[in-house]
Amino acid sequence: MKTLKILLFTTFMWIALPMQLLGQEYISVTAGDGDGIWSLLRENGVVPSPEAVSDFKSTNSDRLKGRDILHSGKTYLVPSSSRVYPIFGSKYERVQILTDRLEGHVYYIVSGHGGPDPGTLGKYDGQLLPEDEIAYDTSLRLARNLIQDGATVYIIVRDENDGIRDSRNLKDDEDEYYLGGERIVLNQSKRLKDRTRIINKLFDKHKGSALSQQMISLHVDAYGSRVEPQIDVHFKAASNSGYQLSRSLRDTMKAKYAQHQPGRHYKGHIDTSANLYVLNNTKPPAVLVELGNIRHSGDQHRLVKYGNRQALADWLRDGLVKNAQGVTS
């Protein structure tokens, strides 16, 4: 199959992250015997979602002439399988769609605190270690991973100028806001209700069409002190699917630690008694992931390294994929 890259400057809205995509790239491909729209898209790394099929028909309307039949030997324009998401920062904004294994699954990624509330401030190597910045960087990495697997992803807490940062020093700021432009307030009760309201509104939009919907909230624990740093997973006990989600994440973490750090003896605590507003009041199955302890020197040393934050995002993605294999809602 012959391909030719063509750069068309178009602007449209992406359902997962409402923002403009700049410089959509298309490639010119030649249809083979038996090719249809779906197969041609799949052969070129594009998940044949209803949006992608509609875009293909619109872009190739002069070639299709009102019909959905492709002709062998004729060329068609297919969108490149990568997309541009400025929210991830210049280094990571181009995202390649690698698989469709999470197509139809919707994820609400919520990094804890934000705006005027940095969460707990740790201190490492003479630098402040803000909880909200660690959670935000990891949440972006997780969101990007999920998009690569074809998921619909909503990043609820956002910061236009941070992006994914390959840095040890994540400088704290207060300019985070909610999806849709609403500012984050200091009052904790209103802050939790605001993000819950946003998630539930989006949940209702996708109810009946999504294969599953989950909310994942990322935090860094600040209570007590642990000799052995590990991830604590809190989940909504009243939800069977939420319990399954937590187990999928926990089991994946255990397998990953057994593979990469066999002497660590990671157990993966699941707290079924957590009385947390967002977990109890969001409509989708919800889980709160503690990425470590902001006051634990071992966890601090681990979380300041961006490679470790990426590994956490990778393992969480793997757990969500495992959960999605048998989940519908």
> pLDDT tens across 166-197, in order?
999 899 999 999 999 999 999 999 999 999 99
| pLDDT value at 214 more than 60 | yes
Worst-scoring range by mean pLDDT, 12-16, 70-74, 199-203, 277-281?
A: 12-16
CATH number of 90-324: 3.40.630.40
- Compute the mean pLDDT over every residue in the chain, rounded to the nearest whole number: 84
| Most confident among 14-18, 169-173, 238-242 (mean pLDDT) | 169-173
The edge-to-edge listing of strands for the beta sheet with 25-30 is 3-7, 25-30, 75-79
What local confidence, expressed as pLDDT, does residue 66 receive? 79
pLDDT at site 149: 94
CA distance 158 to 163: 9
Beta-strand pair 270-271/232-235: parallel
Taking residues 302-312, report their average pLDDT: 94
Q: Rounded CA gap, 37 and 31, in Å?
A: 9
Most confident range (mean pLDDT) of 184-188, 274-278, 298-302 is 184-188
Least trusted range by pLDDT, from 249-253, 265-269, 288-292, 294-298: 265-269
Mean pLDDT of 86-104: 91
Do residues 118 and 286 touch, judged by C-beta distance below 8 A?
Answer: no
Spatial neighbors of 129 by CB under 8 A, at least 6 apart, are 121, 122, 123, 170, 294, 300, 303, 304
CB 3 within 8 A of CB 46: no
Answer whether 3-83 and 90-324 agree in fold.
no
Please report which confidence band the pLDDT of residue 224 belongs to, taking 50, 70 and 90 as the band edges.
low
Any idea where the domains of the chain sit in the sequence? Answer: 3-83, 90-324
Residue 9 in this model has a pLDDT that exceeds 50: no
Strand partners, 286: 215
> Is the CATH number 3.40.50 carried by domain 3-83?
no
**Cα 214 from Cα 209, distance rounded (Å):** 14
Longest dimension (CA), the chain: 68
Average pLDDT over residues 151-161: 95
State residue 45's pLDDT score.
72
Average pLDDT for 20-38 = 72
Is residue 270 over pLDDT 60?
Answer: yes
Q: Hey, what's the torsion of the CAs at 190, 195, 198, 202, to 10 degrees?
A: -150
Q: Which residues on adjacent β-strands are paired with residue 183? A: 177
pLDDT category at 24 given cuts 50, 70, 90 is low
Q: Which amino acid is present at 222?
A: A
Mean pLDDT (whole number) for 10-38: 59
Tell me the one-letter amino acid at 102.
L
Locate 244 and state its tokens.
């399954």
**Measured CA distances, 322 to 244, 248, 251, 262 (Å):** 10, 6, 10, 22
Between CA 166 and CA 169 the distance in angstroms is 9
Give 97-146 pLDDT, tens digit per residue.
889 899 999 999 999 999 999 999 988 888 899 999 999 999 999 999 99
- Residue 227 pLDDT > 50: yes
Instruction: Return the percentage of the chain with pLDDT > 70, whole number.
Output: 87
